[in-house]
Structure 1
Amino acid sequence: MAGFNLLSGKLEVQFAIRLPASQHHEIFSARPHHVSNMAPAKVRNCAVHEGHFGQKGTIIEWDYVHDGEKKLAKQIVEDMDDVNFSTSFKMIEGDLMKEYKEFMIVVKATPKSESTSLIHWTLEYEKLSEDIPEPFSLLQFFVHLSKDIDDHHAEKEAK
């Protein structure tokens, strides 16, 4: 079959949160270094390796915990759309690159009302071999990460 590749895949999930779309987008596009304060059990640190937070082309390093293991990731901000509240990250180094040839993460927030939004995470990837599992647990990690950020802001608002 021409064009059929068992190694390439795409996973997507969409869910609602209480945080406005613009705020969720701003966290991942301009202030990812604040994520460790909002979800410290998942993200230990986020730092700029090259460039500046909030700019396309910036290289970001993440120190995070996934499936109970400490992991590292280095990503480049491939695209940032402040109108449609979307940010794309291309993995360039780190633990994921031990299993994947390519890995792209896109997070998009869509306003549902003034104070709520729909969050859409997309993972596009190419595995190094067929025996590598689909990254379902990583997709779940991002769902819980957004919900932790949402809970953090709800607790802050309640005070």
Structure 2
Amino acid sequence: MASPILAGKLEAEIKIKSDPDEFFQSFGGKAHKLPNLCSDKVHGVKVHQGDWKTKGSVKLWTYAIDGKVETLKERLTVDEENKTVTAEAVGGHILEQLKSYKASLQVIPKGQSNYAKWTIEYENINENEPAPTKYLHWLIHAGKDVDASLVKA
């Protein structure tokens, strides 16, 4: 008999046309600009503790997903060298649905193209819960909106 799977990992990759450094910074040290870059998804991002880039800083997000407004309190780690931003949930609506949630963005150059890779590591509260694919879809669409906004700028 197979044991129930409580934890998992979701991944997706999108091609980006904008400057890879600008895209990376939009989710890292300049996340306060996200409401202007994808306003239908991100309503606000505020520093709750620390600052915009320092490891361990905590931000409070207000965002729309599936027609509902949710909040997320996240602890952030920004790795400039590897162009990776990792956000671990420490509060908010997502932790009412999941035991743990960690989302990472890595901007990856591949030849003449650049890609944004999203990874979500999660643990469900119980085995009857589906994988949190709605959050992966949200990240993909927010990334595409940010990319399009940066290309226009």
**Residue 68 of structure 2 aligns with which residue?**
69
**Shift in Å, 1:74:** 0.1
Q: In 1, Cα distance between the equivalents of 2:10 and 2:87? A: 15
**Shift in Å, 1:101:** 0.9
Q: In 1, Cα distance between the equivalents of 2:38 and 2:73? A: 19
Deviations 1:63-120 (A, max 9, x none): 000011000000001x321111001111000001001111101000012357x41000
SS at match of 1:153: helix
Q: In 2, Cα distance between the equivalents of 1:45 and 1:152? A: 17
**Residue 147 of structure 2 aligns with which residue?**
150
Aligned residues: 153
- TM-score by length of structure 2 reads 0.94
**Shift in Å, 1:53:** 0.5
SS at match of 1:41: coil
Q: In 1, Cα distance between the equivalents of 2:59 and 2:111? A: 31
Deviations 1:103-156 (A, max 9, x none): 101000012357x41000000000001222211121011011011011111222
**Shift in Å, 1:20:** 2.3
SS at match of 1:131: coil
CA RMSD of aligned residues (A): 1.6
**Residue 101 of structure 1 aligns with which residue?**
99
**Residue 110 of structure 2 aligns with which residue?**
112
Structure 2 residue runs of 5 or longer lacking an equivalent are none
1:126 aligns with 2:89: no
Sequence identity of aligned pairs in percent?
27
Deviates more, 1:22-31 or 1:60-69: 22-31
- TM-score by length of structure 1 reads 0.90
CA contact (8 A) 1:20 1:111 kept: no
